[in-house]
């Protein structure tokens, strides 16, 4: 990001304010980002103040103010996203990344978004969930002509209601979303809102799915359900940053789903409430405690809680296959199969033949570290913790709660140091066979079973 040039451009634009829009030929300079690190939240340099969000392994798009209008410039183009260290995928995205940068505005802001198309085919941008004039809805062929390759279109509307939104193409959607074209949008409330609480940490990410053959680098765009890469913001564990908070912080996590299936997002150690959807803030009387929330296709959910338990808490999709990397789903289940007799025979033909999976597949995590895999392949299970392999990949990260994390400090504090003697541990001694439980029979009962019915009395009826 070249901030200096960006703000120099912004100053020029402000000087030119008052000139008619036609003569304002200069577009806001497109800003691009190639780092996969979580960018520090973008503190608004102008306009109404707000508490900015943290885009997990992503960033927020800067704007320029032009005669009171916030102007953004999105550039749709092919990008290379490093989904995990050493695993790069050819995607389509915006401004150098998939997902595109988060757009943050304030309720009531007039917003102008230039969209330049550098894809090999036409596109549009749909502003998912927004109240806007129909002509700004971004549905190619229905509310506008498509944006041809090489052309720039402009969208303009007022961000009418606060909340959590997404943007994505409404043109060749199956291909363009399978290639990673999507982004987050947050509209902050313009003043204190009865249903929107201030929070100390505000994270957002989009759920993603890709089908990348081991050893290749371009997603298969025709896959309907059998994807093999499951991501938060196009990153996979252990390539996903952790959510680092101070004990006692009120935390908001905004999640959007533009994949082809639902994802039950589960947080350990805390109960949260869903405080908002893409339809807006949830009335307080309609909130209840959860530890998992299903984020269905095309939905967004805002989870909120007080992070009051220290530790490294898992935060993941509860579909077990979604915390795994690529694997063949046609592999036969070998649990309980004694392969001893055949191994020697097979080794005569295949000297390196190994027995796999007869005691489960937990060994795979460590075995993969030694096994040769094709270049540019994400391992099936990776990520080591302080006690060994985490046997996870995909949609998995950690919520790190620390008493000594400084207010606003987003840095990873490292592994949690459990108080001495508190970690689950082995107990000494052998365990004998279980005692046999004698099943009661009707004969033993001698008709003594009490089956009286208690009638509700009016005195206790409430």
Q: Which residues contribute to the site for Cu ion (CB under 5 A)? A: 263, 317, 319, 322
By beta-carbon proximity to Cu ion, the closer residue of 255 and 307 is 255
Structure tokens at 342: 């055949």
- Residue 325 Cβ, how far from Cu ion at the closest point, in Å? 13
- Residue 322 Cβ, how far from Cu ion at the closest point, in Å? 3
- Residue 314 Cβ, how far from Cu ion at the closest point, in Å? 14
Round to whole Å and give the CA distance between 303 and 265. 10
CA neighbours within 13 Å on the CB side: how many for 53?
29
By beta-carbon proximity to Cu ion, the closer residue of 146 and 263 is 263
Round to whole Å and give the CA distance between 90 and 69. 34
By beta-carbon proximity to Cu ion, the closer residue of 72 and 313 is 313
- Residue 208 Cβ, how far from Cu ion at the closest point, in Å? 10
Compute CA distances 412 → 56, 105, 242, 398, 405, whole Å.
13, 28, 7, 10, 9
- Residue 63 Cβ, how far from Cu ion at the closest point, in Å? 33
By beta-carbon proximity to Cu ion, the closer residue of 63 and 396 is 396
- Residue 366 Cβ, how far from Cu ion at the closest point, in Å? 25
By beta-carbon proximity to Cu ion, the closer residue of 128 and 263 is 263
By beta-carbon proximity to Cu ion, the closer residue of 106 and 207 is 207
Query: With b meaning 16 or more CB within 10 Å and e meaning fewer, what string describes 322-348?
Result: bbbbbbeeeeeeeeeeeeeeeeeeeee
Round to whole Å and give the CA distance between 104 and 164. 10
Query: With b meaning 16 or more CB within 10 Å and e meaning fewer, what string describes 67-92?
Result: eebbbbbbbbbebebbbbeebebbbb
- Residue 337 Cβ, how far from Cu ion at the closest point, in Å? 29
By beta-carbon proximity to Cu ion, the closer residue of 50 and 227 is 227
Nearest to 273 by CA among 257, 297, 256, 253: 253
- Residue 396 Cβ, how far from Cu ion at the closest point, in Å? 10
Round to whole Å and give the CA distance between 459 and 372. 74
By beta-carbon proximity to Cu ion, the closer residue of 13 and 324 is 324
Tell me the three state secondary structure of residue 97. Answer: strand
Burial of 221 (0-12, 13-18, 19+ CB in 10 A): middle
Compute CA distances 116 → 84, 121, 175, 231, 372, whole Å.
28, 12, 18, 26, 42
């Amino acid at each position: 990001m070249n901030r200096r040039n960006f703000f120099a451009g912004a100053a020029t634009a402000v000087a030119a304010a008052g000139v008619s829009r036609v003569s304002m030929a200069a577009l806001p300079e497109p800003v691009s980002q190639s780092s996969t690190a979580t960018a520090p939240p973008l503190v608004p340099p102008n306009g109404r103040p707000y508490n900015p969000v943290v885009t997990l392994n992503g960033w927020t798009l800067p704007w320029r103010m032009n005669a009171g209008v916030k102007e953004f410039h999105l550039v749709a183009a092919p990008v290379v996203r490093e989904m995990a260290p050493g695993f790069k995928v050819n995607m389509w995205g915006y401004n150098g990344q998939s997902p595109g940068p988060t757009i943050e505005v304030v309720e009531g802001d007039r917003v102008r978004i230039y969209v330049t198309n550098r894809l090999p085919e036409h596109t549009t941008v749909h502003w998912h969930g927004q109240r806007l004039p129909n002509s700004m809805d971004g549905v190619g062929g229905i509310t506008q002509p498509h944006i041809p390759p090489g052309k720039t279109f402009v969208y303009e509307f007022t961000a009418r209601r606060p909340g959590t939104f997404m943007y994505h193409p409404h043109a060749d959607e199956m291909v363009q979303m399978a290639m990673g074209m999507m982004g987050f949008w947050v509209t902050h409330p313009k003043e204190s809102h009865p249903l929107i609480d201030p929070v100390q940490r505000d994270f957002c990410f989009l759920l993603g799915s890709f089908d990348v053959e081991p050893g290749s680098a371009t997603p298969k765009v025709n896959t309907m359900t059998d994807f093999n890469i499951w991501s938060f913001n196009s990153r996979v564990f252990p390539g996903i940053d952790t959510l680092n908070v101070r004990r006692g912080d009120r935390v908001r996590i905004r999640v959007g789903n533009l994949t082809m299936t639902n994802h039950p997002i589960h947080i350990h150690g805390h109960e949260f409430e869903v405080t908002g959807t893409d339809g807006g803030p949830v009335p307080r009387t309609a909130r209840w405690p959860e530890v998992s929330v299903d984020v269905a296709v095309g939905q967004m959910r805002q989870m909120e809680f007080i992070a009051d338990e220290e530790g490294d808490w898992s935060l993941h999709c509860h579909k077990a296959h979604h915390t795994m990397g690529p694997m063949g789903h046609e592999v036969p289940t070998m649990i309980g199969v004694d392969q001893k007799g055949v191994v020697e025979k097979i080794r005569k033909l295949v000297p390196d033949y190994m027995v796999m999976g007869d005691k489960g597949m937990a060994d795979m995590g460590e075995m993969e570290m030694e096994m040769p895999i094709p270049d540019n392949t994400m391992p099936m299970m990776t990520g080591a913790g302080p006690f060994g392999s985490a046997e996870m990949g995909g949609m998995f990260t950690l919520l790190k709660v620390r008493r000594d994390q400084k207010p606003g400090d987003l840095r990873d504090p490292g592994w949690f140091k459990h108080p001495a003697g508190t970690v689950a541990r082995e107990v000494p001694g052998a365990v004998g066979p279980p005692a046999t439980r004698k099943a009661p029979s009707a004969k033993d009962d001698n008709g003594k079973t009490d089956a009286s019915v208690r009638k509700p009395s009016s005195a206790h009826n409430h």
